[in-house]
Amino acid sequence: MSSVRSFIFSRGFMKTIKLSFVATLLCASNAYCKVAASSTATINEKLTAELMSKNGSQVSGQIDFTQEGNQVKVTYKIKNLANKQSFGLHIHEKPDCSSADGKSAGGHYSKMAGHEGHGTSLDFPDLYAGDLPQITSNGNGVAEGSFLASHISISGGTSNTVSIMDRAIIVHGGPDDKTKKSSPRIACGVIKSVVK
């Protein structure tokens, strides 16, 4: 009888081990799937651009883009600017900051038809698709702040918004003048995705 019990126990024990092993594999698989799904879901929720100086400037900094509902929050901190001045800030066509003058980034991003102006704020009626409010430095040459923009998006654009993914952002050496002209490019950053 004891040998029978031992045999039954052994079979039950082995079955338990097998079930436990399968359960472990399933849990591991589910965990992997959850991580993968999480990464896919969040990969485009935030974009960032690390600024590189251009045209002999010493400008540096970072600009972050975070989707908040139907708007994008743009947060920036830019250093080594001229003190107490305003500077144009725009999305440009190409994700390329390789040239010394920043012109490798192409022109202003203007995908939406009819948006041909060049404003100083988001209230200007004829904004370029990639036009953003100009920034202003303090007495230490630092521009820092944030604003919300409803005409851009982190990933897929719509009829009223354009995606800024894989574009460049340019800081110009002077303020906007509501024309198609801009001052020299003093900093450039490629807009890239951030995985949280």
Mean pLDDT confidence for 108-136: 70
Residue 166 CA to residue 54 CA, distance in Å, equals 19
Q: Which domain range does residue 25 map to?
A: 1-42
Average pLDDT, the chain: 77
Q: Is the dihedral of CA 87, 91, 94, 98 positive or negative?
A: positive
- Check whether residue 71 and residue 8 sit in a common domain: no
Residue 61 CA to residue 103 CA, distance in Å, equals 19
- Check whether residue 5 and residue 83 sit in a common domain: no
Give the confidence band of 108 by pLDDT, cuts at 50, 70, 90.
Answer: confident
* Domain total of the chain: 2
pLDDT digits (tens, 9 = 90+) for 9-22: 344 444 444 444 44
Give the residue carrying structure tokens 């800081």. Answer: 171
Taken as a whole, the chain contains a residue count of 196
Rg, Å, the chain Cα set: 26
- Check whether residue 33 and residue 76 sit in a common domain: no
Q: Which two three-digit tokens encode residue 158?
A: 């719509």
- Check whether residue 33 and residue 112 sit in a common domain: no
pLDDT digits (tens, 9 = 90+) for 156-185: 766 567 889 999 999 999 998 766 667 899
- Check whether residue 142 and residue 168 sit in a common domain: yes
- Check whether residue 8 and residue 66 sit in a common domain: no
Distance of CA 169 to the CA centre of its chain: 11
